[in-house]
Structure formats: C-alpha cells, structure tokens
Structure 1
Amino acid sequence: MFGLGGPVINSYKNQNSDPEASIYPKSSDQDAHYSIEGNVLRSTIFISDNSKFGRDGKTPVLRVPGTGTYGGEAFEPNFAKLLKASPFGHPVWLNIPGRMCDEAPRNAQHVAYAINYIATRTQKKVAVIGWSQGNLSIQWALKYWPSTRG
C-alpha cells in the first residue's frame, strides 16, 4: 500500500511474501492455534525497506506499539530512523487493526505470528521492542506460543 510519499507506514494491508516454512495454524505442537487467518496476520507486518530485508546482515527488530497506536506512527519517527542509521537493526513493526484496542489475546496472535514469520524469512533471531500494551502482547506471545522464545 503506497501513499504520496511512499509506503504507508500505518498500513495493516501490507503485501508480504508467504513464509517458506509452515507457521500457520501454529509453528510447533506446543503453540496455541491462531484464530485469525494467516494472511491477515502477515499483512499487519510492516517491513521497512523490504528489498533489503534479511539480506542486509542486520538483526530484524520488531516493534510492537501501545494501546491506541499503529507501529508506524509510534516508531517510524524515532526508533526506525535510529535503526536504519545503525549497523545493528532492520526496523519492522506491527500495525494491528483497531490500533491495539482489541483484546490482548488477539493482539498477541499478531506478535507471535510476526516473530515466527520474521525468523523464518530471515533465518535470524528477532529482537522485539514493546511500548505500553505492546509489552503485554509480547508476554502473551512468549507464554502461549513457545516457538517465539528462541
């Protein structure tokens, strides 16, 4: 999805490629099943500079926003700029429909899927940064989708 100035940073209808490994309806036997469709979960992941993603040698850094925000508005003007300029991280964030105002377990599904999707696509460990309710969603993902812990 593009706007006048390039990709729409708050889009939750992103066109991300299918993962090479099966991560839906769950990545491992210990994981909870997702109740949200895989293509919907995948479309909420915004990958900054998708053409270099996974090939730039940087650690993917997933940012999870707080209540009432999309990842783009919460992170693009600050952490994303710092990460783009650093040798460490490649910025990625979630734009969860409803601006994280849905139930915490539903928001956590987006986080769990994103961690597994990014790890599968890049073959790298994923760093995760949360803000406000984003931290709660990360904790739910780590608890109910053990495959995200590695």
Structure 2
Amino acid sequence: MISRRVHIVVLSLGLALLLGLAPAFAQAGTTSGFAPIDRPGPELSVPPEQLREALRCHGDPGSGQQPVLLNPATSVTPEQNYSWTYAKAFTEQDRFWCAVTMPEHTLGDIQVAGEYLAHSVREVHRLTGKRIAVLGHSQGGMNMRWSLRFWPDLRPLVDDVIGMAPSNHGTQSLKGCGPAPAECEPAVWQQLAGSEFMRALNSRTETFEGISYTVVYSRFDEVVTPPESSELHTGGGLISNVATQDVCATNTSSHLLVGTIDPVTYALVEDALNNPGPADPARVDSSVCGQPLMPHVDPASVDTYLQPVAAIPGLLSTALPGVNLVGGRSVDREPRLRCYVYAAGC
C-alpha cells in the first residue's frame, strides 16, 4: 500500500509537469549555417565562482566504478529530482557522483546550462581521471548534447550520455507560449517544436564517435510528444533507443516516473553504467517487470514524499502561463542563439 501511495503522489505531480514541461521536435541533421563539429568551443561566459558553486560531489573519486554527473530536468533542482532516487542509489553503491544545479530552476537559457555542464564535465573528469557518464531526465537528458556539440574538447571526457525521457527532438506539447506576445521561460521556448535551439542542437550530427548514448522513454510520455522524438539516430556514437514497453509490455510509466522511480528505467541505466557501450535491453532480467519501484527508493522515507512536494512550485511555474513561483523569468520569444553556434559567427 505504501508503494502504491508513492505512485499516486508522483503521478499527481506528473500531471502538473505533463501540462507544462514543453521540450521540442526539430529536424535532425540540418547543416546550413551552423558551426562545423570540430571547431573549438568558446570561452565560458559564466563567472568561474558560479560554476564551481553549482557543482556538488559525493563519495570517493578513486572508486573503481564509473563516475556519474546528475543533470536535472526543467523546473527542478538536483535534490528534488534525484536525492531520493538515483543519488541515494549511487551513494549506497559507493559510486562517486556529482550533481549540477542550474540557474533559475533549469528554466533559464539552455545555452547557459551548457556552460555549467562543460565546466562540470571537466571538473568531474579532473577529480576522477576517468571518462564519465552524464545521467539526466527530460531537459537534463538532452542538454549535455549541446555541450558536446559546441565544445569538442568534452567528447574524450564523456563515455556515456544517458537520457531518461530526454527532449532530444522536443515535443509538440505546449502549455501556452507562442506565438508572441505570449510569454514562457527561456528553456520552454527553446524546447518547442521547430525552435532555433533545436535546429542548432541537431545540426550536422546527433551523436559523436566514442560516446555511448542510451535513450530510455515511455510510449505513455505526455510531455515529450511524440515519445519517439526522444530517440537519436545520426552520427558516430553508439546508440540504444529503448522504450520501457520494449522490456515490460505492461509498463505504463509517464514522463515524470521515467525520470524518478520507474524500475525498468533504473535497470537500463545500471546496464549502461556497468557494461561497455549503451544499455542493452536483452541483458535486463524480466523480474524487473514485477517491481513497483526502482531499488534504493524507500517508501517509508520522508524524503520520498517531501522532495516531490518541494518540486511543485517549479512544476506549476512551467505548467501555468503567467505563473512563476521559483524566481525565474518569462520572455516573449526564444533567446537569441549565441555567435559560436553559427559557422560565420554573428
């Protein structure tokens, strides 16, 4: 009964998220006008002290396991997204992990989030001496690809990019922004179908050689629509696109559950972390289909309820036009792409 209540709590929060988190669906492989993939990335414009303060790490960097950088979804902090799920799991595994907190509850310009990720990847690699995995939910499963696209020096430092219901090509869902003069948070504009951000993200290639890409999504995702828009297809990376229903036909997890307590997603994440290459659903034991929650989530823990509840203001800020409860800003159009994005600059 307690596990069922956890599902009810998270599902109810998911309704707010599903109404509001508006990622995007753009055409992949567009080349016209965008920077070549091997051009060195720009200097970071965010002050170094802000980048340092945004990264928090836990555990022994000398651990033999692959280190993980946790990257939050739109409108939530790493604590709200992961402290009661994946952060707890990795701590109990004695796996070194770090989490990056984005400005404006991850509702701000994703180009700025890309700088935070560039710094974080370099720092986690420096601390551990290992190629790292980046694990993210929704926007957090997508925006690492922006950093890899425009900062080529990061590619040798990253072994795995694991996206849980990532907005890789966005969504056709929309809360209420667009066309102007409607207002939305910058990250919402950028994750709309056909946005300039999405065109740039998927320009020339989607993946890079030497990196494994695991995409886990649910065919019941109401946020990233159509759900298959999460998938990656082009480039030299090793790619595994897996719907949770490919492993367990009866899995009904929504967008929010895939990034929090879904046991099928967890099994695929662990498979990607513990084996060379991306996740292979054939290696996942069918017993996962009978599990109500991912391991390490404690239905009796206060955090299991408090952290999702703490996420409500951010979810509502994204879901309801004109409402902002977390201090972010709304704008009437998509942020302008930075000069480094274009082959000819500005």
TM-score normalised by L of structure 1: 0.72
- Asked if 1:77 corresponds to 2:87, the answer is no
SS state at 2:153 partner: helix
Answer yes or no: is 1:127 the counterpart of 2:133. yes
Q: Provide the rounded CA distance (Å) in 2 between the counterparts of 1:117 and 1:91.
A: 12
Give the distance between the partners of 1:46 and 1:134, measured in 2 at CA: 16
Q: CA deviation at 1:143?
A: 0.5
Q: What amino acid sits opposite 2:153 in the alignment? A: S
Q: Could you list the per-position Cα deviations for residues 92-147 of structure 1 after superposition, in whole angstroms to 9, with x for gaps in the alignment?
A: 11111211111010011111110011101211111101111112321101101111
Unpaired runs of 5+ residues, structure 1, are 1-28
Which position in structure 2 is the counterpart of 1:138? 144
CA distance in 2 between counterparts of 1:144 and 1:58 reads 28
Normalised by the size of structure 2, how large is the TM-score?
Answer: 0.33
1:45 aligns with 2:55: yes
Q: Which residue does 1:115 correspond to in 2?
A: 121
Q: Answer yes or no: is the 8 Å Cα contact 2:103–2:113 preserved in 1.
A: no
Q: 1:42 offset after TM fit, Å? A: 1.4
Q: Secondary structure at the match of 1:128?
A: strand
Structure 1 residue 60: Cα displacement: 1.5
Larger Rg: 2
Corresponding residue for residue 10 of structure 1: none
> Residue type of the partner of 1:58?
Q
SS in 1 for 2:106: coil
Q: Deviations over 1:17-69 (max 9, x none)?
A: xxxxxxxxxxxx812211101121111011124xx3x1233321001101111
Does 2:131 correspond to 1:104? no
User: What corresponds to 1:58 in structure 2?
Assistant: 65
CA contact (8 A) 2:87 2:97 kept: yes
Q: Contact 1:61/1:128 (CA < 8 Å) preserved in 2?
A: yes
Tell me the amino acid that sits aligned with residue 62 of structure 2: R
**Partners in 1 of 2:155 and 2:79 — Cα distance?**
25
Residue aligned with 2:135, SS: strand
Q: Shift in Å at residue 86 of structure 1?
A: 2.1
2: CA distance, partners of 1:149 / 1:99:
26
Q: What value does the CA root-mean-square deviation take over the aligned residues?
A: 1.6
Q: Pick the structure with more strand per residue.
A: 1
Greater relative CO, 1 or 2 (CA 8 Å, sep 6+): 1
**Aligned-partner SS, 1:130:** strand
Distance 1:147 1:119 in 2: 12
The separation in 2 between residues aligned to 1:137 and 1:109, in whole angstroms, is 10
Give the Cα–Cα distance (whole angstroms) in 1 for the partners of residues 79 and 56 of structure 2: 8
Report if the CA contact (8 A) 1:115-1:126 is conserved: yes
| Partner Cα distance (2:128, 2:49) in 1 | 18
Secondary structure of the residue aligned to 2:69 is strand
Alignment length (residue pairs): 118
